[in-house]
Structure 1
Amino acid sequence: MSEHPGSSGSSGPPEHPGSSGYSERDVQREVTELQGKSATAAQLFDIRRIIGGLFVVYGIIVTLAGITASDADIDKAEGVNINLWTGVGMLGLGVFFLGWLWLRPTPPPVDVERVAGEDSE
């Protein structure tokens, strides 16, 4: 016996030509999932997090170099422990960026199609 395309058990095209085989609910669920992943990625790769993190890490390294500086190193900089002051400044700037991120987090992306549909109703 030959099976008709679209009947159960066949691997042929969907019953309706032009139909993708997905319901609108499946598509909406997939879109919502992708939007959630997009929002997570936007928050993860926020430039304030990257800049703040790098400044904190480098600030710790330079501050430790300033704390362990010898008298000869300080004399080279005309009596100023430049590594210590630079490290503290870098730490302060890094904490500023991370605090800014914490106080004003990235808003989730707006679904333009949904907003346009709500305005037209």
Structure 2
Amino acid sequence: MSHETDGSAPHKAGAFDIRNIIGALMGTYGVILALAGIFGDPEYDKTGDVNANLWTGVALLVVAGVFLGWARLRPIVVPADVEKPDDDPARPAPSRRRPPSH
């Protein structure tokens, strides 16, 4: 790897890692549902004596924690040097557009 030879740290995907985005969205929805389960009407007659909002919110918060922890413990390392697409002989050449005929 090039970061070992030049002494620089590897570049990580950070906020652009899809696991962070999914974790943040699930965490947001989990907080909203957990608060609705705590402060809202649980409507036990519709859910079979279960506070569905609270338990769904807690489950979403757990899943969000798993996604965020996964992204933190196993980050995606972006390579410093990427080959140009035209260096790949297996890649087809771009199609040439013909000028419109009148």
TM-score band, normalised by shorter chain: 0.5 to 0.7
Point out the structure with the larger helix share.
1
- Structure 2: distance between partners of 1:81 and 1:48: 28
| CA deviations over 1:34-90 (Å, ceiling 9, x no partner) | xxxxx56x432110010000000110000001112325x122212110111100000
Cα distance between partner residues in 2 of 1:112 and 1:97 = 27
2:81 corresponds to 1:86 = no
Which residue matches 1:96? 66
Alignment correspondent of 2:21: 50
1:109 Cα shift?
1.4
For residue 112 of structure 1, report the CA deviation from its aligned partner: 4.7
Count, aligned residues: 73
Is 1:66 the equivalent of 2:32? no
* Residue segments in structure 2 that go unaligned for 5+ positions in a row: 1-10, 84-102
Gapped regions of structure 1 (runs ≥ 5) = 1-38, 114-121
Bigger RCO of structures 1 and 2 (CA < 8 A, at least 6 apart):
2
Q: Secondary structure at the match of 1:58?
A: helix
Alignment of 1:1-121 (within 5 A): 39=11, 42-70=13-41, 73-112=43-82
Spell out structure 1 runs of 4+ moving beyond 4 A: none
TM-score normalised by L of structure 1: 0.54
Q: RMSD of aligned C-alpha atoms?
A: 1.8
